[in-house]
Structure 1
């Protein structure tokens, strides 16, 4: 079965935020650690969903289904990201919002860098 690179990128993102969260947690900052992990997960999990949904079809004969899959996958990724942020801000207390957004932004930048490296 074909595994798109997007899934590998999501796994790398989750691994790195888990390591950062573990370092922060054992460094005595459990709220920041949780916030960092959640921020990374809010980026990586919708990306993994996108990779799973967008790359289900391949080949020239399936061109219409490929385009349709990409649109649906991107819409689902967007909805999952919005719902994830809404749920986190509604449920998680205490929360370090700065750490959450820095982690999310760092995962987005990491995604860009890894995609650029894979495309080369």
Structure 2
């Protein structure tokens, strides 16, 4: 069974936020550019962790391990995301919170779209 392309999805997300961030930075909005980049990374990196952790095992004989891996992967993704947001709000000054959350939300939508297209 072929493993899902989770790292490709994270790479596409990071590429999109990097390009958007570069355009914003070049147009004279460095705080917004950094906020967009961080928001995208807070979505893509825990998502990549989830994918790598959840899909380590495969096959019918490993069903019990697969279920356990999914629970651990989702818990780890949640912890990484929450710790990432907390760390950003404590350490990054100045920060455009709206740009951070919008970028995060758009990355989640991009992830859904890419997963839906790859599942077909």
TM over 0.5: yes
Give the shorter-chain TM-score range: over 0.9
Q: CA RMSD in A?
A: 0.9
How far residue 4 of structure 1 moved from its aligned partner, in angstroms, is 2.7
Q: Which runs of 5+ in 1 are unaligned?
A: none
Higher alpha-carbon deviation: 3-12 or 89-98: 3-12
Scaled by the length of structure 2, the TM-score of the pair is 0.96
Moved over 4 A (4+): none
Superposed, 1:1-120 pairs within 5 Å as: 4-120=4-120
Scaled by the length of structure 1, the TM-score of the pair is 0.96
How far residue 3 of structure 1 moved from its aligned partner, in angstroms, is 5.2
Question: Number of paired residues?
Answer: 119
CA distances 1:8-66 after superposition (whole Å, capped 9, x unpaired)? 11110000000000000111100000000000000000000001101100111111001
